[in-house]
Every structure is written in structure tokens, then in C-alpha cells.
Copies of this chain bind each other. A is one copy, B any other.
Amino acid sequence: MLEIRSIRHCRSCGNKVRYEVPPDDNRERAVCSACRTIHYENPLNVVGTLPVWGEQVLLCKRNIEPRHGMWTLPAGFMEQGETTAEGALRETIEEAGAHVEMQGLYTLLNVTRVSQVHMYYRARLLDTDFAPGPETIEARLFREHEIPWEQLAFRTVRATLQFFFEDRQTGQFTLHCADIA
């Protein structure tokens, strides 16, 4: 299990925290030594889309770390006050400048090593006028045989693409849940 002890000071009063099991709890949390505020750390959601244009899918070449120069589906951390679908759409606009019609939730992938849940929605591209944002070097369409499998940035991108090309043979695109080791 992931063990990151990244909190050293209390977000509320600034004093030092200590990792200890609070009363009525069963795991260690960062607890402020002064004001006793408990600081919880929880998994993050990454939300994105699998944009489809006929036989082709849209990938973005990353202009940021990690995995600079590698290819990804448009995705990023979900923000406060938005839904998973709204976040996925926002990332698609921010990273690819792509115009899409959102479709159903397609993959929900647990990445416990980094305590993340990745969710990808299928999306129908409305045109091919992409306008990549600063986080993207290039946004382009790929046919299945053109996918740069060895240059994909994340295993959840690989898994989502694999599920897609499998499902396309039957035309049945149901939700896939999987755990990425």
C-alpha cells in the first residue's frame, strides 16, 4: 500500500503535525500537535475522454511532465465543483481544443500504486479542428494500426484503447472496470 507522509505542518494553524491514529479511527493520519486538526489524504480522480472520429481516435502528445513527448488521451485531475463528465469535457477542451459530444462512462480504472481512479468517457468528435493547449505538443487522429503503443504515457490510456478496439468488433461499448497494478 502507498504510504506517503507528505504533510508536515497543519493547514489550519501552521504548527507541526504528527502521524498517529486518531480516536475512533483505525489508520494513521496527520494530526496537528497544537490545534488537533486531522488532515485526511484520499485518492484523486483523473477524468478524460476517448474522442472518436469514424475509424480514428484522438491522442495528444504531452508537452508537460511526467511523460513529456508521449501520447495520451485528453485527461487530467478532476476539480472541485464539477462532475466527472464535466471534468472530462473540460480536459478535452483544454488539452486538445476538441469539440465533442459526450457519451457514456467507458472505463473506471483503479491505480492503487498512486491512489488514483481514472475514468474515461467515450466522446464523439464533432469536427477535426483541434486547437491544442499549452500542455499538448500535437493533437492528431490515429487508426488502430497507427496507435503508438510503445509511446503511450499511461497504462490506463493503453487499457482504455485496448478495450475500445476489442469492443468495436462487436459494437457493444459497456463500462469496463479494472485494476491497474
Q: Which residues of A contact B (CB under 8 A)?
A: 1-4, 6-16, 24, 26-27, 39-45, 77-85, 94, 104-105, 108, 110, 112, 115, 117, 134, 174-175, 177, 179
Contacts and interface: CB of A to CB of B under 8 A. Distances in A.
Contact of A2 (B10, B13, B81, B83): B81
A102 B24 CA distance: 26
17 contacts: A1-B81, A1-B82, A4-B80, A6-B11, A6-B12, A9-B12, A41-B80, A42-B44, A42-B78, A42-B80, A43-B45, A45-B45, A45-B117, A81-B115, A82-B112, A83-B112, A85-B110
A4 to B, nearest CB: 8
A42 B79 contact: yes
- Tallying the copies of this chain within the complex gives 2
Nearest to A179: B83
B110 A84 contact: yes
Given A9-B10, A10-B11, A175-B175, 5 more contacts: A3-B80, A9-B14, A14-B14, A26-B94, A42-B45
